[in-house]
Every structure is written in structure tokens, then in C-alpha cells.
Amino acid sequence: MLIDALSAIAQPSVGMALGPSQTGASAADAPTFEQALGQALGSAVDSLNAGEAVAIQGVEGAAAPMKVVEAVMDAQRSLQSVLAIRDKFVSAWQDVARMAI
């Protein structure tokens, strides 16, 4: 299922560690890129799970139609955000791959 695949991506891996910040700013104050991306993906996965649960409740007749529409639209916005991040990442990777060594 798509949601399970996103959940696996949202979990930070050891291979993605970026190391300490080199800017001189306090590392405890600002999250790393990996943490920020993990939080964004985690939030998107939570939104997709919530939308799916409310949609199922709507099919069963346990949720109001307006609540179902709001939850599904929120899940759709989250999915579109994740796809936009993915597209930017792929574009950046292709730019790096095209660089002359």
C-alpha cells in the first residue's frame, strides 16, 4: 500500500546521516535537514492515514460527508506536497549527475 511505502521512507536511516552543522549555529536549536524531512514525511503519512480512516468511516455511514471531504482533501494536499518534494529531489539529483568532474 502507498501509505506503508511512505512510512518506510519517513523513518530516518543511518545512511542518510548528514553530520553536524558547519554553520556555527547551535545544533540543538535547529533541526537537521534529515529531521525536517522526516517530520514532513511523517506528517504527510499521518494525514494520509487519517484521510483513509475517515473515508472508510464515510463508506460505513459513521462519518458526515463534509468530514470525509475535508479529510480526503487534506490527504490529497499532503500527497501533492510529498510529490513536489520528490520531484525537486530528483531534479537536484539529475543536476548533480550532469556536473562535469
Give the largest CA-CA distance in the chain. Answer: 60
For residue 33, what pLDDT is reported?
A: 85
Angstrom distances, CA of residue 69 to CA of 3, 22, 50, 57, 63: 19, 45, 12, 12, 10
Contact 55, 68 (CB under 8 A): yes
Least confident segment among 9-18, 67-76, 79-88: 9-18
- What mean pLDDT do residues 69-96 have? 93
